[in-house]
Amino acid sequence: MGNWSFLVVAVVITALAFDFTNGFHDTANAMATSIATGALRPRVAVAISGALNLVGAFLSTEVAKTISGGIVNDSLITPSMIFAGLVGAIMWNLVTWLLGLPSSSSHALFGGLIGATWVGAGVKGVHFSVVMEKIVIPALASPLIAGVVAMTATYLAYVITSRGNRDQVGRGFRAGQIASASLVSLAHGTNDAQKTMGVITLTLISAGILSHGAGPPWWVVLAAGLAIALGTYIGGWRIIRTMGKGLTDIESPQGFAAETSATTVILASSHLGFALSTTQVCSGAILGAGIGRRLAEVRWSVAGRMVLAWVFTLPAAAAVGGVAAAVAEQGTAGITVVFLAAVAVAVAIYAISRRNPVHAANVNDQPTTTVLPPPQASAA
């Protein structure tokens, strides 16, 4: 059996850092519509979401097994490649958070790992058939399925309640949103927390600490669940604003329909081991809910920017992961250079974000037409 080295410890810590960014990047998936309709206060919403993400992390490990023994050859990958892939994923998460774009943390992770493995081990290090079956096809199908289901559910919700008192109907659906948003958070924990579990397990396998084909140990499940829960509680307010107010004007029946539809798709995929993007599923469901309500405004320009982010996520993260792997494979000095560069970029992104901060108090303000805050904007 292998031994714990400094590099292995560094990779585990970096993986948990990615899990944290995944949490605050994806809080919007579960809670954006509930916050937008007033069903939940912003701070209460992220607290509920964080707690249920932690619970969801313990419900299944099928997606973790897909990552730890599926998309890359675990006999060829090294901890330094995994470290480089994580850096690529974290950088993309931070950039898209700054822009307020709900891109896929999952695909950022997959892209980073694929790019780093390709550079470090060659084409034979990536199982492209598994990537196509478990990642690409679900990525194309899941937002469409969620959108159609949400559109149908929204239409039926308005038809069924058309003769009811509007205020009473709204209160009823807002109460229902508390349950449906909670289910999305639970489903998110069963899907996204597992991705970090898979990465850490892959690291332990590559270092010889675990045998090939092993599942995640209990402490990995707990650590990944806690990291994503903490990130969720921090609240990715920029992306919450985009999904709650930027795509369409959400009413409580639409929010309930979108959340319920997304939950169904996510839980089904987790059961089958498909590591899909909860961001894409929830965004598709919100768009479907917007289309399903007559006379609702759908802001297709915002949707177009989101789709562009989805298209570029995997290749962009792969490019950064590949470059990082080329440097990290040079040894301790290379790993140090990659780490310091990543920290510098992260600090710069945070500094830029403070020019026009988004937080719990202003998250329901209408987004401006420019996604990136102008330099002259004053800090709140």
Asked if 40 and 177 count as a contact pair (C-beta separation under 8 A), the reply is yes
Between CA 10 and CA 247 the distance in angstroms is: 39
Between residues 248 and 291, which one has the greater pLDDT? 291
The dihedral built from the CA positions of residue 173, 175, 178 and 179, taken in this order, carries a sign that is: negative
At residue 321, the 3 state secondary structure works out as helix
Tell me the pLDDT tens digit for each residue of 63-83: 666 665 567 777 788 889 989
- Identify each DSSP E strand in 263-325 by its residue range: none
CA 316 vs. chain centroid, Å, equals: 16
Q: Is the pTM of this model over 0.85?
A: no
DSSP result, 212-262: TTPPPPHHHHHHHHHHHHHHHHH--HHHHHIIIIISB---HHHHHHHHHHH
Mean pLDDT calculated for residue range 248-259: 86
Between residues 198 and 88, which one has the greater pLDDT? 88
Domain edges within the chain = 6-353
Residue 13 has pLDDT above 60, yes or no: yes
Alpha helices in 100-136 (DSSP H): 105-121, 128-131
Residue 377 has pLDDT above 50, yes or no: no
DSSP result, 32-69: HHHHHHTSS-HHHHHHHHHHHHHHHTTT--HHHHHHHH
Three-state secondary structure along 70-94? CCECCCCCCHHHHHHHHHHHHHHHH
Tell me the pLDDT tens digit for each residue of 277-306: 778 888 889 889 888 887 667 788 888 888
Q: What's the pLDDT score for residue 344?
A: 95
